Structure formats: C-alpha cells, structure tokens
Amino acid sequence: MALYMVIERFRNRDPVPVYRRFGELGRLAPDGLTYISSWVDEDIAICYQLMETEHRPLLEEWISHWSDLVDFEVIPVITSREAVSRVAPRL
C-alpha cells in the first residue's frame, strides 16, 4: 500500500461548498482508496488528508470529484518507521 499526503486548497478560501458536498454525498472515494486522517488549518482554507491505496489511479478518480472546488497537491509519503528503516544502514 502507498500513502499520499493530499493538500487541498479550497477555491477562493471558501470551505462551504466542500463541506456542503461532503455532507450531501460523503467522501466520494472509490473502493480501494482509504481515508486515514485529516487536519485543517485554523483559517479553514487548507485541508491535509492522508490517503492510502495500491492503485494511484483511484486517487486521481477521487480528485476528479472535487477538483471543481479544490486545488490539489499530492505528495507520496512514507511512515516515520519506514524512514528510519531506510536511513538505518547509513547511520
């Protein structure tokens, strides 16, 4: 499984349309894309969401449901434990 940090910037810094759609339709994530957790900045203008999937196209499909309201940046990430494991041989 791969992890992705998804940075969502609400268009016009307006979260209302996003939260309205979420309330009406849910996350709209396809099967095989798992929501892990999220955090929102104090201005409620940017959401940081951790998502997991084996198939990157599922992430793109999910983004397509929201891209009219949100600008996305997607960053593949690894856990801290995995980072330590990768760095350990160089210590």
Q: What is the pLDDT of residues 49-86, one digit of tens each?
A: 999 999 999 999 999 999 999 999 999 999 999 999 99
Please determine, looking at this structure, whether the domain spanning 2-90 carries the CATH number 3.30.1540.20.
Answer: no
In terms of pTM, does the model score above 0.75? yes
Residue pair 32/58 in contact by the 8 Å Cβ criterion: yes
Q: Within 13 Å and on the Cβ side, how many CA atoms surround 5?
A: 9
Residue 63 neighbours by CB under 8 Å, 6+ apart: 6, 72, 74
Q: What is the pLDDT of residues 10-47, one digit of tens each?
A: 999 999 999 999 999 999 999 999 999 999 999 999 99
Q: Where are the domains positioned within the chain? A: 2-90
